C-alpha cells in the first residue's frame, strides 16, 4: 500500500522535510552523508517501528533534540488516504497512530506498510545465521496468515517458560502438561511456514535464474527438527539433553531457509555483486508473491542502488522493479546511475546536508 506523503522531523541529520510522493518511483539523490539512507531508514521505521541500522533510538533522534517524528499518508485498498505516524522519545517510549487513532501496536504498522529493504549491508540474509532467513520466511507468513503473529508470540512465551521449568524439573512428567500446548503451536507454525515456502519457492527460484542465469539455485525449508518426528515426541525424547543444555535445543526457533548455489553454500560461490543480485531476486520474489497471494503490494526500499552492480545488472534490476508496478524508493549518489528507471510518473528528490528538495 503506497505512501502518498512523507513527513520526517528530527531524524538523524533531517531537521524537517515534507515530501509529496509518487506511487511509482521516488529517487533520493545526494552526496555521501547527505541523508539518503536516513530517508529510507525513516520509511522503514514507519513500517517496522524500528530502524534497520541501530537499535538505539538515541542515535537516530537528531542530536540536541528530545524526539523524532515520521508521519505519512498511505492509500488503503479502497484508495482512501489514511494518516499514519510514529513518534519516538529519548526515554525509549514510542507512540503509533494510524487513521487518527493513537496507541496502535507496531504489528499494525507492519500490516499496513509491508516493506522490502535492499541495502548494501543486507547480505546477512544469505551469508549469516538462520535467524535472518527465518525472519524472511516469517515476513511472508505474517502477511499471508493473520493468526501467525499471535501464535509465534505465544510459542516464544511458552518456550521461555519451558526453559525455566527445565532447570528445576526432576522428571519429564513435570513438563509433559506444558509440552502438549507447545507441540501444538510448533506443528501449526511449521505447517504455515512450510506451506508458505512451498508456494513462493517457484517464483523465488525463477527470479534467481533471471538475475543469475549462470547458477543453479535451490531453496529448501528446514523446520528446525527432523522431518519424521512429531514435535511432542521429540521434546520427550530430548528431555535429558535439553535439561543438560538448560534450554530446548530443537524446534521452530531453529527453522531455516536453506539456499544452495550449484549445490554449495552461497557464500563460497557468489561474488559480492552476485550476492546483491540474489538478495534482490529473493526480496522481489517475496514481494511479488505477496501481491499475487493477497493483492497487497509492498513498498521496495533500495539503498545505494548502484553499489556492486555493473550497468547490465543495474538495467536488469531496474526493469524488474518497473514490472512490479509497486512503489519504489531508490537512493543513489548521482542521477546518471538511475537513468534507466526515470519515467514520467517518478519523482526526484535532491538531498544536501539533511535538506530535501523535489526537483
* Cell digits of residue 344: 514520467
At 180, phi and psi to the nearest 5? Answer: -60, -50
- Alpha carbon 335 to chain centroid, angstroms: 27
Largest Cα–Cα separation, the chain: 71
Cβ distance 281 to 211 under 8 Å?
yes
Q: Residue 37 annotated as binding?
A: yes
Which among 184, 9, 7, 173 has a CA at the least distance from the CA of 88?
9
Q: Residue 195 annotated as binding?
A: no
Cβ distance 118 to 279 under 8 Å?
yes
CB of 27 to ligand ATP, least distance (A): 13
Interface positions with ligand ATP (CB under 6 A):
12-13, 30, 32-38, 59, 62-63, 304, 333
Q: Please say which residue, 35 or 47, places its beta carbon nearer to ligand ATP.
A: 35
Q: Please say which residue, 144 or 332, places its beta carbon nearer to ligand ATP.
A: 332
Q: Residue 99 annotated as binding?
A: no
Q: Name the binder of 32 from ligand ATP, Mg ion, none, CB < 5-8 A by kind.
A: ligand ATP
Residue nearest to Mg ion (CB): 37
At 288, phi and psi to the nearest 5? Answer: -70, -35
Work out the number of other CB atoms within 10 angstroms of the CB of residue 81. 13
Q: Please say which residue, 39 or 255, places its beta carbon nearer to Mg ion.
A: 39
**Which residues are 306's β-sheet partners?**
none
Q: Please say which residue, 62 or 238, places its beta carbon nearer to ligand ATP.
A: 62
CB of 181 to ligand ATP, least distance (A): 44
Cβ distance 289 to 140 under 8 Å?
yes
Interface positions with Mg ion (CB under 5 A):
37
CB of 279 to ligand ATP, least distance (A): 17
Angle, helices 272-294 vs 173-211, to 10°: value is: 110
Q: Residue 355 annotated as binding?
A: no
CB of 35 to ligand ATP, least distance (A): 4
CB of 71 to Mg ion, least distance (A): 22
> b/e string for 328-351 if b means 16 or more Cβ within 10 A?
bbbbbbeeebbebbeeeeebbbbb
Q: Name the binder of 38 from ligand ATP, Mg ion, none, CB < 5-8 A by kind.
A: ligand ATP
CA 224-243-168 angle, 5° bins: 130
* Cell digits of residue 227: 522431518
CB of 1 to ligand ATP, least distance (A): 25
Q: Name the binder of 283 from Mg ion, ligand ATP, none, CB < 5-8 A by kind.
A: none
Q: Please say which residue, 156 or 353, places its beta carbon nearer to ligand ATP.
A: 353
CA atoms of 297 and 278, how far apart (whole Å): 21
* Cell digits of residue 51: 530502524
Q: Please say which residue, 121 or 228, places its beta carbon nearer to Mg ion.
A: 121
Q: Please say which residue, 37 or 297, places its beta carbon nearer to ligand ATP.
A: 37
Q: Please say which residue, 44 or 221, places its beta carbon nearer to ligand ATP.
A: 44
Q: Residue 322 annotated as binding?
A: no
CA atoms of 211 and 207, how far apart (whole Å): 6
Which among 212, 319, 336 has a CA at the least distance from the CA of 328?
319
CB of 316 to ligand ATP, least distance (A): 23
Sheet strands (E) in the chain: 3-11, 14-20, 25-29, 67-75, 81-89, 94-98, 115-118, 217-222, 256-261, 264-265, 299-302, 328-332, 347-352, 355-358
Q: Name the binder of 34 from ligand ATP, Mg ion, none, CB < 5-8 A by kind.
A: ligand ATP
Q: Residue 30 annotated as binding?
A: yes
DSSP 61: B
CB of 42 to Mg ion, least distance (A): 13
* Known binding positions: 30-37
* Known binding positions for ATP: 30-37
Amino acid at each position: 500500500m503506497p505512501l502518498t506523503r512523507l513527513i520526517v522531523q528530527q531524524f538523524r541529520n533531517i531537521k524537517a522535510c515534507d515530501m509529496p510522493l509518487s506511487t511509482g518511483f521516488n529517487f533520493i539523490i545526494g552526496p555521501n552523508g547527505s541523508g539518503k539512507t536516513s530517508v529510507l531508514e525513516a520509511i522503514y521505521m514507519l513500517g517496522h517501528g524500528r530502524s534497520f541500522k541501530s537499535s538505539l533510538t538515541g542515535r537516530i533522534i537528531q542530536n540536541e533534540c528530545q524526539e523524532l517524528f515520521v508521519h505519512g499518508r498511505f492509500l488503503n485498498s479502497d484508495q482512501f488516504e489514511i494518516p499514519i505516524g510514529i513518534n519516538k522519545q529519548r526515554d525509549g517510549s514510542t507512540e503509533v497512530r494510524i487513521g487518527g487513532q493513537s496507541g496502535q501496536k507496531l504489528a499494525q504498522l507492519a500490516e499496513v506498510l509491508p516493506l522490502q529493504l535492499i541495502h548494501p549491508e543486507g547480505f546477512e540474509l544469505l551469508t549469516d545465521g538462520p535467524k535472518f532467513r527465518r525472519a524472511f520466511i516469517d515476513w511472508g507468513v505474517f502477511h499471508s496468515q493473520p493468526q501467525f503473529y499471535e501464535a509465534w508470540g505465544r510459542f516464544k512465551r511458552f518456550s521461555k517458560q519451558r526453559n525455566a521449568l527445565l532447570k528445576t524439573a526432576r522428571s519429564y512428567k513435570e513438563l509433559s502438561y506444558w509440552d502438549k500446548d507447545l507441540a501444538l503451536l510448533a506443528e501449526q507454525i511449521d505447517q504455515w511456514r512450510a506451506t508458505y515456502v512451498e508456494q513462493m519457492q517457484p517464483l523465488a527460484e525463477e527470479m534467481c535464474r533471471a538475475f543469475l542465469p549462470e547458477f543453479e539455485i535451490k531453496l529448501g525449508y528446514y523446520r528446525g527438527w527432523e522431518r519424521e518426528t512429531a514435535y511432542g515426541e521429540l521434546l520427550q525424547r530430548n528431555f535429558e539433553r535439553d535439561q543438560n543444555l538448560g534450554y530446548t535445543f530443537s524446534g521452530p526457533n531453529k527453522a531455516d531457509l536453506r539456499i544452495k548455489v550449484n549445490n554449495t553454500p552461497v557464500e563460497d560461490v557468489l561474488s559480492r555483486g552476485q550476492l546483491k543480485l540474489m538478495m534482490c531476486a529473493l526480496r522481489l520474489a517475496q514481494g511479488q508473491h505477496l501481491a499475487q497471494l493477497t493483492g497487497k503490494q509492498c513498498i521496495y526500499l533500495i539503498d545505494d542502488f548502484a553499489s556492486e552492480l555493473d550497468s547490465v545488472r543495474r538495467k536488469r534490476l531496474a526493469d524488474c522493479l518497473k514490472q512490479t508496478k509497486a512503489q519504489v524508493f531508490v537512493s543513489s549518489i548521482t542521477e546518471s546511475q538511475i537513468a534507466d528507471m526515470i519515467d514520467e510518473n517518478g519523482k526526484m528528490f535532491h538531498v544536501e546536508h539533511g535538506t530535501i528538495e523535489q526537483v
